[in-house]
């Protein structure tokens, strides 16, 4: 939302405000952000499947899905009391958080691999 050059961003300012010009709007928008709201000591047994595409102009995988993945794995690791250097804890965390990054698909994920990704989602849910 800070980059008005991104597709569909400028028109959202009517609803959410301009975070670059209004600190209150910035605070409100950040309160919706899953990366900023991820608690330092996340206590959950939930498994996560994160999916992103490299060619999404609105939510780039390298800045969002991958960042969220890293923070999620790190924060889940703090719950067990094991330090960040605890190999067993790290391995268990990576078994609970999965990241799939597709090379193409855009913001609405319309690519030739769509069926495979839906199959991945279904397999993850049924596991």
pLDDT digits 0-9 by tens, 45-81: 789 999 988 888 878 777 788 999 998 888 886 654 5
The verdict on residue 26 lying in a domain is yes
Q: How many angstroms separate the Cα of 86 from the Cα of each of 91, 99, 100?
A: 9, 21, 25
Q: How many domains does the chain have?
A: 2
Within a domain: residue 61?
yes
Q: Kindly state whether residue 16 falls inside one of the protein's structural domains.
A: yes
Q: Is 57 in contact with 104 (CB distance < 8 Å)?
A: no
Residue 17's domain comprises 1-32
The model's pLDDT over 40-55, given as tens digits with 9 standing for 90+, comes to 777 777 899 999 888 8
My answer on whether 22 and 71 are in the same domain is no
The DSSP element (H or E) to which 52 belongs, if any, is strand 48-53
Residue 39 lies in a domain: no
Task: Kindly state whether residue 98 falls inside one of the protein's structural domains.
Answer: yes
DSSP H helices in 33-113: 65-77, 87-94
The pTM score is 0.72
| Least reliable range by pLDDT among 27-31, 72-76, 117-121 | 72-76
């Amino acid at each position: 939302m800070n980059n008005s050059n991104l597709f569909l961003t400028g028109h959202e300012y009517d609803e959410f405000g301009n975070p670059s010009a209004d600190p209150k709007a910035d605070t409100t928008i950040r309160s919706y952000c899953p990366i900023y709201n991820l608690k330092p000591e996340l206590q959950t047994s939930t498994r996560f499947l994160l999916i992103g595409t490299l060619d999404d102009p609105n939510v780039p995988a390298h800045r969002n899905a991958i960042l969220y993945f890293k923070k999620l794995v790190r924060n889940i690791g703090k719950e067990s009391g094991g330090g960040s250097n605890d190999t067993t804890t790290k391995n268990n965390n990576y078994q609970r958080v999965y990241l799939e990054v597709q090379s193409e698909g855009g913001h609405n994920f319309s690519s030739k691999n769509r069926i495979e990704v839906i199959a991945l989602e279904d397999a993850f849910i049924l596991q």
